[in-house]
Amino acid sequence: MDLCNPFQNLARTHFPNAVVVADRFHVLKLINHHFLKTWGQLNIEGSKSRGLLSLMHRHEWSQMKDSSRANLKRYLEDNPAIASNYNFKQELMKLILSRVSSKSQARPLVVDLLDKIQGALHQ
């Protein structure tokens, strides 16, 4: 389900025994939202650039023109704090977008995801 408060409150009120599960789309949206918010705090001017915004929304494995990839690389090299956040976001995206067909395949991914989140909390 969507992770916004009204939906969560509705579920808790009317379905108190339900297990709330966030769908992948909303988790990705939430990660992007927080990444962009952090980026805006680290570099106000850069975050207002439409070209950079477009690059920051993309997955690093998506097709990009060589010139766009070079621009992104140069920007991240010049802004190590942003690069760290960008790389963390990319790692989370890869984990969340991983396709698995069983619990046994998912378990190591969940452990990896929780480790990454725990590591980020302690930085």
Neighbours of 48 (CB within 10 A): 10
Plot region of 115 (φ>0 → left; ψ -120 to 50 → alpha; else → beta): alpha
pLDDT of residue 86: 93
What are the DSSP calls for 3-22, one per residue? -SHHHHHHHHHH-TTPPP--
Q: Of 71, 123, 117, 120, which is closest to residue 95 (Cα–Cα)? A: 117
Please write the tens of the pLDDT for every residue from 72-106.
Answer: 999 999 999 999 999 989 988 888 888 888 889 88
Mean of pLDDT values over 64-72: 89
pLDDT of residue 24: 84
For residue 122, pLDDT beyond 90 = no
pLDDT of residue 46: 87
- What does the alpha-carbon distance between residue 55 and residue 28 come to, in Å, rounded to a whole number? 16
**How far apart, in Å, are the Cα atoms of 94 and each of 13, 48, 91, 98, 110?**
34, 26, 5, 6, 12
Neighbours of 115 (CB within 10 A): 10
pLDDT of residue 101: 82
Q: If pLDDT is split at 50, 70 and 90, which confidence band does 2 have?
A: confident
